[in-house]
Amino acid sequence: MTTTTGLSGDPDIAGGPSAGAAALECEGCGLIARTGAPTNFDAHCPRCGVLLERADRHGSGAALALAVAASILLGATLVLPFMTLDVLGQQQGSRVASGAGGFADYGLWPIALLVLGTLVLAPALRLGLRLVTLVGMGWDQPPRWLFAAFRWHERLRPWAMAEVFLLGAAVSYNQLANLATVEVGPGAWALALYVAAQAAADGTLVPQTVWRRLQDRGCLADPAALAQVAPRPWEETQVASCPVCRLAHPGGDGQPCPRCGAGLHHRKPAATRRAWALALAAAALYLPANFFPVMAASKLGQGGPHTILAGVAEIAHAGLWPLAIIVFTASIAVPVLKLAGLAVMLVATRRGSAAALVARTRTYRFIADIGRWSMVDVFAVGILAALVKFGAVASVVPGLGALFFAAVVVLTMLAAEAFDPRLMWDAAHARDREAQA
Ligand SMILES: [Zn+2]
Ligand SMILES: [Zn+2]
Chain segment 257-273, per-residue pLDDT in tens? 888 888 888 888 899 99
> How remote is the CA of residue 351 from the centroid of ligand 1, in Å?
20
Whether the pLDDT of residue 297 is over 90: the answer is no
| 32 CA distance to ligand 2 middle (Å) | 15
Whole-number Å distance between alpha carbons of 206 and 201: 10
What confidence score (pLDDT) does residue 236 get? Answer: 56
| Residue 222 alpha carbon to ligand 1 centre in Å | 28
Top-confidence residue, 252 or 139: 139
Ligand nearest to the CA of 262: 2
Residue 232 pLDDT exceeds 70 = no
Q: Is 303 left (phi over 0), alpha (psi -120 to 50) or beta?
A: left
Q: Which ligand is nearest to the CA of 6?
A: 1
400 CA to centre of ligand 2 in angstroms: 43
* pLDDT tens-digit series, residues 380-427: 999 999 998 888 888 899 999 999 999 999 999 999 999 999 999 999
Helices within 137-185 (DSSP H only): 145-155, 162-179
What pTM was estimated for this model as a whole?
0.88
Q: Give the ligand at the shortest distance from the Cα of 28.
A: 1
The CA distance from 314 to 330, in Å, is 16
CA of 241 to the centre of ligand 2 (A): 8
Whether 20 has a pLDDT exceeding 70, the answer reads no
Residue from 71, 79, 173 nearest 132 by CA: 71
How many CB atoms neighbour CB 290 within 10 A? 19
**If you measure from the C-alpha of residue 29 to the centroid of ligand 1, how many angstroms do you get, rounded to a whole number?**
4
- Mean per-residue pLDDT of the chain: 85
Distance 246 CA to ligand 1 centre (A): 14
Give the number of the ligand closest to the Cα of residue 260: 2
